[in-house]
Amino acid sequence: MAPSCTLARMDIHSLQTRLRAFSAERGWEPHQNPKNLAMAMVVEAAELVEIFQWLSPAQAADLASDAARQQHAGEEIADVLVYLLQIADRCGIDVEAAVERKMALNALKYPVPTALSTAAQQVAVIDWRAVDAPARFVHSLLHTGFAVLTHHPIDTALLRRIEDEWDAWLASPAVDNCRFDPLTQDGYVGPERSETAKGQTEKDLKAFFHHYPGGRYPQELSDAALRYRAQAEALAAQLLDWVQQHAPEAARQSFPQPLPEMIAGSRQTLLRILRYPPLRGDEPAGAMRAAAHEDINLLTVLPAAREPGLQVLGRDGLWRDVPGDAGWLVVNTGDMLQEASGGVFPSTTHRVVNPAGEAARRARLAMPLFLHPRPEVRLSARHTAASYLDERLRELGLRAP
């Protein structure tokens, strides 16, 4: 997004170079630290205000009809801008990049309050094969944190098979042979010690199995989940490529390295197979299948479950069902993409609500794949992937505090 052609015409960088030379020739540099410059800028801003001080709002709006006053205002505006550019120069701030990034963030923070923006908050359903799929996919992620793909390359017959065998396994005593190990972070976690979403008090009403490359896998089961994992991981890598290619300039400038490089050779990508057991009616008040949360990773690939319940929180504060017809694939952004993009890609809050009626008596299976960078990858000035994951796992109670 170009903030304005005026900025481009002005060429901020060469202006800063000229200002530096101007100060050096006059021996002013020792006094021009950011603190003094900021104070001088405020004095100039006050001189600009002084021009308007006793004018009526109508007179102020009509400044152009008073040539002398208009010229005076121009001089004060120039003074303010000159100091501002010098502050940025001394602090090593790239003004153009900072403005672009701020405008992108403002657009996210203050969406246009029209019917159009309500439509923009609907998660897009996109044919993966379409020529414009990558652009539409990234647009939907930017506006809703989610996108849904149809006609994707994941084998849906394989998914049904996984659901059937894992539904039985996750509810069987065999899970005892494969319980969660906090060191390797893989294995089975039962409802009794399931996650407590950040900021929640009740545990989620779910059991799950975590699989990492080369990690433990139930020997009683077929390799269907591993085959799904390979397909999902390849698709997730392609989708991350789409994000890199179609990300707004502000996000691309924020990425410490191209996104595909972050996952190259990663063994951190997590396959989670979830079983939400049928509800018995004696669940603690307020306990939900999956309480409101954000995913930790870059992107999540999630085949639509057979049972409903997945909802996304819109920027308008309303929960909406994520479209999830049979065979569709849900994709959402996670905290790590938000961190790496300087907030341009939102990590959107979602949850799985408890069903009512007949559906409450049925289990719900889901198998998200969480795409993770290698641990040493830098996401931002604050965090590497490892430091970020560590912080979040402690919050979830999956790693000792």
Binding site for ligand AKG (CB under 6 A): 272, 274, 290, 295, 302, 305, 310, 350, 352, 366, 368
* In the complex, minimum distance from the CB of residue 223 to ligand AKG, in angstroms, rounded to a whole number: 22
Rounded least distance, CB 149 to Fe ion, Å: 17
Give the shortest CB-164-to-ligand AKG separation in angstroms: 17
Shortest distance in whole angstroms from residue 159 CB to ligand AKG: 13
The residue type found at 399 is R
Task: List the one residue out of 1, 5, 197 whose CA is nearest residue 102.
Answer: 1
Rounded CA separation 142/136 (Å): 10
Residues 211-250 contacting Fe ion, CB under 5 A: none
What token pair was written down for 94? 């790239």
Q: Measure the CA–CA gap between 370 and 153, rounded to whole angstroms.
A: 18
Size of the site for Fe ion (CB under 5 A): 1
Residue nearest to ligand AKG according to CB distances in the complex: 366
Between CA 241 and CA 262 the distance in angstroms is 11
The window from 78-86, 278-286, 293-301, 382-390 that contacts Fe ion (CB under 5 A) reads 293-301
Least CB distance from residue 277 to ligand AKG, whole Å?
Answer: 13
Choose between 186 and 295: whose C-beta lies nearer to ligand AKG. Answer: 295
**First-to-final CA distance of the chain:** 42
From the list 346, 339, 275, the residue with the least C-alpha distance to 123 is 346
Binding range to Fe ion, per CB under 5 A, among 136-144, 149-157, 227-235, 290-298: 290-298
User: b/e for 174-201, b at 16 or more Cβ within 10 A?
Assistant: ebeebebeeeebbbbbbbeebbbbeebe
Quick one: what does residue 149 bind among ligand AKG, Fe ion, none, with the CB cut-off 5 to 8 Å set by partner type? none
Nearer to ligand AKG, 86 or 333 (CB): 333
Shortest separation between residue 293's beta carbon and Fe ion, angstroms: 6
Q: How far apart are CA 265 and CA 149, in angstroms?
A: 26
Residue 352 interaction partner, one of ligand AKG, Fe ion, none, beta carbon < 5-8 Å per kind: ligand AKG
Give dist(CA 379, CA 316) in Å, integer: 28
Query: From Fe ion, ligand AKG, none, which one binds at residue 371 (CB under 5 to 8 Å depending on kind)?
Result: none
204 binds Fe ion, rule: CB under 5 A: no
CB of 95 to ligand AKG, least distance (A): 39
Q: Nearer to ligand AKG by C-beta: 224 or 271?
A: 271
Q: From Fe ion, ligand AKG, none, which one binds at residue 329 (CB under 5 to 8 Å depending on kind)?
A: none
Decide if residue 295 touches Fe ion (CB under 5 A): yes
Rounded least distance, CB 204 to Fe ion, Å:
10
- What is the H or E stretch that residue 366 is in? strand 364-366
Q: Would you say 184 and 209 are in contact if contact means Cβ atoms under 8 Å apart?
A: no
Burial class (CB in 10 A: 0-12, 13-18, 19+), 133: buried
Q: From the list ligand AKG, Fe ion, none, which binds 303 (C-beta under 5 to 8 Å, kind-based)?
A: none
Beta strand residue intervals within 10-139, DSSP E: 125-127
CA distances from 315 to 99, 143, 170, 346 (A): 23, 9, 35, 10
Instruction: For the CB of residue 190, give the shortest distance to ligand AKG in the complex, in Å.
Output: 15
Residue nearest Fe ion, Cβ-based: 295
Question: Cα–Cα distance between 188 and 216 in angstroms, integer?
Answer: 10
Q: Does 186 bind Fe ion (CB under 5 A)?
A: no
307 lines the binding site for Fe ion (CB under 5 A): no
- Residue ranges binding Fe ion (CB under 5 A): 295
